[in-house]
Amino acid sequence: MEPNKSENNVGTLVDQDLSQEIQKSYLDYAMSVIVSRALPDVRDGMKPVARRILYSMWRQNLRSTARHRKSANVVGDVMARYHPHGDASIYDALARLVQDFSLRYPLIDGQGNWGNIDGDSPAAMRYTEARLKKISDEMLADIAKDTVDFVDNYDGSKKEPTLLPSAIPQFLVNGTIGIAVGMATNVPPHNLKEICLAAIHLIEHPEATVQDLMKFVHGPDFPTGGAIYNKKDILQAYATGKGGIVTRAIADIEEAKNGSFRIIVNEIPYLVNKSNLITRIADNVKADKIQGIRDLRDESDKDGIRIVIELKKDAYPKKVLNQLFDTTDLQKTFHVNMLALVDNGKQPKVLTLKDAIVEHISHRKVVITRRTTFDLARAKERAHILEGLKTALDHI
C-alpha cells in the first residue's frame, strides 16, 4: 500500500544512504551537546543549565536579600519553563553553584546539607533551600533593560535569555569543567580582584601581552587552596590556552612530645576527594609503597581540612612527604584547556588569558550600550509626558 503523501512530506519515503544519515545525525547531536549543554559561553562563563537556574531564581525574586526557598521549587520551575531534562541533572548543577569547594565564588546561597569534599551527595531537594548570592545580583543586573537577547524556550511558551549581562568575568573567576563530544573544557578558577585589575590594564593598554597581564594575574586561585609550582607552566597555559599546572597540598611537619614527627595537611589540591585521598594513602602504606607512617587520622571539621599523618621514630619526615607527593593526589596536575563558545555562542575556540578578558570587555561594552539606549528611550518617554503636563498647566 502506497503511503499517504502531503505537502509537508509527512508519510513520504525517502531513499537515504545509511552512512550519510548516521553522519548527519551524529553531527547534529555533537553540535547540540557542544553548543547547548557542555561548553560555556565566554561572555558570561555559563553553561545553559546554570544560566537557566540563575535566571529562574531571579525571575522568582530569590535575590540575595530575599528569604531562602525550597530547592525543589527552583528545580521544578527550571525544568518546567526552561530546561527540558531530568530534575537530577538540574539539582546537581544547582548544588555545584552552592558548594564553596567547587566554586571560588559560589553563586547561590544554600541552607542545609549540600554535600562535602569527601564526595557525599547533597540532601534531597525537598530538604535544602536556596537563594542568590550578592555576586549573582551583579551577574543579572540590568537584564530587564534589553541588555541581552531573549529567545523562545523549548516549547515556545516562554522567553529565556541567550546569556546574562554578567558584570563579573565569570568564565575566568569560577572556571568550568565540561566534556562535550570530541572536545572538553577545563578552566581553572581565579581571584576576582586579579582578573579585574588585568581587565582595567587591558582597557587602558590594548596592546598588552599575556606576560604583561601576569603582573596582575599570578596564577589560578583554587577554592581548596594548595600551592602552585613552575611559573613557566602557568605562562604556557595562559599564552596558548592549554597546559599542565602542578598543584600540591599544603603540609607542615611538626615534632611531637615523644620525639617523633607528624605531617599535618591543611589544604589539598582542587577537585581531590579527601576521603579517597586518605584511603589511597592507607592502601599505599599497606602495599609498602610508602614507608615510615605509623598512624593516619582525618581531623577535619567545619573550620577546615586537617589530615594528621603520624610518623615512626626512625622515619625522615621530608622523605615520607616526598613519597606522599609521588604516589597520591597530594600532588596533582591541573590540565588547563580554556575552550569556550565565541562568536555569539556558536563557535568553540581555545582562548588565551588575553582572549578571554578581551571577550568579556567586548561583552560589557555591548551590555552598557544597550542599557544606556534603553534608559534614554524611557527618559524620552517621561520627558514627553512632562512636557505635555507643563503645556496643560500653562493653559490653566
- What are the catalytic residues? 127
DSSP reduced 3-state for 193: helix
DSSP, res 123:
P
Residue with cell 525517502: 14
DSSP reduced 3-state for 89: helix
Q: Which secondary structure element, helix H or strand E, spans residue 155, and what is its range?
A: none
The sign one gets for the Cα dihedral 127, 131, 134, 140 is: positive
Sheet containing 293-298, strands listed edge to edge, beginning at the edge strand earlier in sequence:
250-255, 261-267, 307-311, 293-298
Q: Report how far residue 52's alpha carbon sits from residue 70's, in angstroms, rounded to the nearest whole number.
A: 17
Q: Report how far residue 206's alpha carbon sits from residue 202's, in angstroms, rounded to the nearest whole number.
A: 5
Tally of CB atoms within 10 A around 297: 12
Q: Which secondary structure element, helix H or strand E, spans residue 7, and what is its range?
A: none
Using alpha carbons, select from 311, 269, 265 the residue that is nearest to residue 290: 311
Contacts of 137 (CB under 8 A, 6+ apart): 63, 64
Rg, Å, the chain Cα set:
26
